[in-house]
């Protein structure tokens, strides 16, 4: 390995790279652009996926445990407390919200204890966050659609239409004390927070959690992650990432065609050297390795430069917010960009495979090479 490595390096560096290596440069640029595009695109998708996670966590936490029973799940509660995990206990149900003859089906999150509301990082219109019975915080979009303002009173009815003695549905009157905004998944179009003992069904509670649950199997076993709860949208973003990765990998494949040409060019130029190496006992496998390494020198240096450049651009964007967005459309003000080591690993792995395949193909001629004829024919 040492000798093929040394010879490959010399073949690449001892020659006039710019004068004789146009194909090398084209391959290098292609691979550089390919890796740069993949990393930048994936980082933007990661960024939006992170925004999705953060915004969802603000109203739904990171994990959900259903069927929580205050009396029988003491171990679970102890585990949560001992692991320093933030949580909120609630009961969630669907109701019909009525205001000025306008009605809409809504989802009401009834927080078990009022102080649990601090768990949710709501973007609120005012500072009022502590709820008493018959007070609610509703989503901004919902408030707009039903023309509700802070201080208005609304009625909620059970979807099951329970009737009172006068045969009219049992309603509960609430005062709207605050309005929250959250554009992710149109949450503020249907979600309402209350903390009302009368409506709370203690036999059907759930817990939402934020924190590191990896240390507790008890919690892990019963938890659903934000990805599980939003599987469709999460998988949609994952598919988008895969398609982007695959599509942009085509740039790397096309660049590898050039790399293939570079190998054909260099191996044709070095045909005499190949014959010499055979005559002094180097195996065909080692000779092929020289050109494969030559190809990897070009390929992996281009990929590395692409990764480093894209990482630097991501750093610049995160530090200086160079590309700004309209938050009305994109929720965020600056283009979010996040790259992980696993994404870089995938780029390298795919490149190693693609470059390897395109390097081996043109070297098949070495199997049928007769060194004596080449040595004797060459001047």
Partner 1 sequence: MILDIKNLKKSFIDGKKTLNVLKNINLSVKKGSIVTIKGPSGSGKSTLLSLIGSLDRPDEGEVIFNNENIDAINDINNFRNEKIGFIFQSHNLISELSLQENVLLPREISGKEVNHQEIKDLFKFFDLDMRMKSYPNDLSGGEKQRISVMRAIINQPSLVIADEPTGNLDQKNVLKMIELFKKLNKEHNLTFIIATHDSAVFDIGDKKLQLTEGNLKKL
Catalog residues that contact partner 1 under the rule CB under 8 A: 2-3, 6-7, 10-11, 14-15, 272-273, 275-283, 286, 370-372, 375-376, 378-379
User: How far is Cα 35 from Cα 343, in angstroms, rounded to an integer?
Assistant: 11
CB of 10 to partner 1, least distance (A): 4
CB closer to partner 1, 2 vs 319: 2
- HSE at residue 77, side-chain half, CA atoms within 13 A, is 12
CB closer to partner 1, 356 vs 371: 371
Radius of gyration of the chain (CA): 32
Count of residues in the chain: 379
CB of 355 to partner 1, least distance (A): 22
CB of 278 to partner 1, least distance (A): 7
CB of 3 to partner 1, least distance (A): 5
CB closer to partner 1, 1 vs 167: 1
Q: How would you classify the pairing of strands 191-194 and 153-158? A: unpaired
CB closer to partner 1, 15 vs 304: 15
User: How far is Cα 279 from Cα 375, in angstroms, rounded to an integer?
Assistant: 9
Pair 276, 375: CB distance under 8 Å: yes
Pair 147, 99: CB distance under 8 Å: yes
Residue 136's beta-bridge partner residues? 176, 194
User: How far is Cα 52 from Cα 48, in angstroms, rounded to an integer?
Assistant: 6
CB of 7 to partner 1, least distance (A): 7
CB of 281 to partner 1, least distance (A): 2
CB closer to partner 1, 16 vs 72: 16
CB closer to partner 1, 163 vs 280: 280
Instruction: Locate all alpha helices (DSSP H) within the chain, ordered by sequence.
Output: 2-13, 17-20, 22-60, 74-82, 140-145, 217-222, 226-229, 231-269, 271-279, 284-320, 327-330, 341-360, 371-377
């Amino acid at each position: 390995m040492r000798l093929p490595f040394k010879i490959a390096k010399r073949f690449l560096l001892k020659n006039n790279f710019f004068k004789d290596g146009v194909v090398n440069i084209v391959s290098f640029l292609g691979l550089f652009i390919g890796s740069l595009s993949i990393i930048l695109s994936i980082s933007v998708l990661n960024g939006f996926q992170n925004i999705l996670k953060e915004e969802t966590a603000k109203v739904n936490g990171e994990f959900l445990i259903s069927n929580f029973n205050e009396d029988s799940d003491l171990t679970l509660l102890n585990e949560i407390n001992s692991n320093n995990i933030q949580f909120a206990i609630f009961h969630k149900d669907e109701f019909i919200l009525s205001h000025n003859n306008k009605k809409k089906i809504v989802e009401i999150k009834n927080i078990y204890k009022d102080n649990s509301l601090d768990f949710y990082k709501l973007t609120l219109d005012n500072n009022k966050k502590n709820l008493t019975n018959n007070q609610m915080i509703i989503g901004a979009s919902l408030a707009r659609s039903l023309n509700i303002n802070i201080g208005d009173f609304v009625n909620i009815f059970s979807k099951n239409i329970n009737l009172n003695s006068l045969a009219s549905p049992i309603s509960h009157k609430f005062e709207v004390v605050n309005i929250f905004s959250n554009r992710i998944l149109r949450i503020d179009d249907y979600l309402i927070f209350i903390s009302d003992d009368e409506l709370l069904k203690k036999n059907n509670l759930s817990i939402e959690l934020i924190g590191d649950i990896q240390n507790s199997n008890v919690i892990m076993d019963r938890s659903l992650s934000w990805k599980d709860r939003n599987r469709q949208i999460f998988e949609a973003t994952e598919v988008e990432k895969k398609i982007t990765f695959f599509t942009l990998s085509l740039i790397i494949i096309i660049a590898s065609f050039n790399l293939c040409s570079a190998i054909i060019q260099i191996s044709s130029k070095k045909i005499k050297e190949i014959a010499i190496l055979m005559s002094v006992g180097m195996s065909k496998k080692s000779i092929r390795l020289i050109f494969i390494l030559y190809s990897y020198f070009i390929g992996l240096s281009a990929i590395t430069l692409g990764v480093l450049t894209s990482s630097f651009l991501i750093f610049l964007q995160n530090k200086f917010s160079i590309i700004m967005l309209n938050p009305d459309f994109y929720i965020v003000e600056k283009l979010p960009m996040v790259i992980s080591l696993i994404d870089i690993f995938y780029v390298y792995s795919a490149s190693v495979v693609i470059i390897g395949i395109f390097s081996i193909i043109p070297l098949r001629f070495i199997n049928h090479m007769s060194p004596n004829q080449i040595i004797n024919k060459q001047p």
